[in-house]
Amino acid sequence: MRPVAPDIPAVELRAFRKSYRLGWTGARVGAVQDLSLRLAPGQVLGLFGPNGSGKSTTLKALAGLLHPTAGECRVFDHSAGSAEARPRVGYLPEAPRFAPHLTGREFLFYCAGLSGLGGEVAAQRVGEVLTWSGLAGAAGRRMGTYSKGMKQRIGLAQAIVHDPDLVLLDEPAGGLDPQGRLALDGLIRDLAARGKTVVFSSHLLDAAGALCDRIALLGKGRLLAEGTTAELLGAAPAAPPASRLEQLYLDRTNGHD
């Protein structure tokens, strides 16, 4: 992990906008509208919102996989996707697909090579992330035999094999059973404890209070609310914390699904 200046935001979106053209008509549809956010190094941000609210688009932009239509998307004060930003970012897409004929170890060595790691350095990192993800015992198995939870863990392992400073996770809990979600929560907490900045998207707001330093609620590509759990709960009626977050989520996203 590279030294991170505490006064430089890990993530900064400035009036970020992304739109797409639809088919033969050429009509533009806005996926994200004027989104502005700042996240300090070492913090965990949860992006919550209905389908189509712009969560995946925002994560793809931070990963450098698409360019803003307008505004800026910066990672550690560099344009997302730039040569300076790319090595510092790890990304797990929603519903990733893995080559079923490769073993977990082969796949991670391949990913390490894509990031410029080789030889003993790659071997050390692959061994570390296999142990970290709990897959050391299954490293020699073909990924086609992996369960859903194991595939999510190998996806997390590839996202950090090059030791990035920013880890982006798109719906990492999707399809996991309660035991798998608990294991995933533990891995995210460990990333935060190691000083990584984490941005993840989810529909599961009950995880927010335990995992997130900050929460952003999105609806139809717009930022509806953002802040710490305590700040957002101050805007919700008195009730147990979990139900108050859910009520705030429903209130703010009503009409944005």
CA distances from 224 to 82, 171, 220, 234, 253 (A): 29, 19, 9, 15, 8
**Cβ-based neighbours of 1, under 8 Å, separated by 6 or more:** 163, 164, 165, 194, 195, 196
Q: pLDDT per residue over 133-150, tens digit each? A: 999 999 999 999 999 989
Q: Measuring CA to CA, how many Å separate 251 from each of 45, 135, 221, 256?
A: 20, 41, 16, 10
Asked, for residue 73, whether it belongs to a domain, the answer is no
> What is the count of structural domains for the chain?
1
Domain membership flag for residue 229: yes
Quote the pLDDT of residue 238. 52
Domain assignment of residue 86, yes or no? no
Please say whether the dihedral angle defined by the alpha carbons of residues 77, 81, 84 and 87, taken in this order, is positive or negative: positive
Tell me if 2 is assigned to some domain: no
Give me the pLDDT at residue 177, please.
Answer: 81
Query: Measured between alpha carbons, how far apart are the two ends of the chain, in Å?
Result: 39
* DSSP for residue 65: S
Q: What local confidence, expressed as pLDDT, does residue 4 receive?
A: 62
Q: What is the pLDDT of residue 160?
A: 96
- Within a domain: 235: yes
Tokens for 87? 């090595």
In a domain, 84, yes or no: no
Q: Which residues of the chain have pLDDT under 50?
A: 240
User: Helix H segments across 4-54?
Assistant: none
pLDDT at 178: 84
35 in a structural domain: no
CATH code for the domain of 132: 3.40.50.300
227 falls within a domain = yes
Would you say how long the chain is, in residues? 257
Quote the pLDDT of residue 198.
97
- Residue of 137, 133, 136, 140 lying closest to 103 (CA atoms): 140
Q: What is the pLDDT of residue 241?
A: 54
Residues 64 and 173: their CA atoms lie apart, in Å, by 23
Structural domain boundaries, residue 194: 42-66+92-253
H/E run at residue 96: none
- Say what the pLDDT of residue 257 is: 52
DSSP 8-class letter at 69: S
Q: What is the pLDDT of residue 27?
A: 78
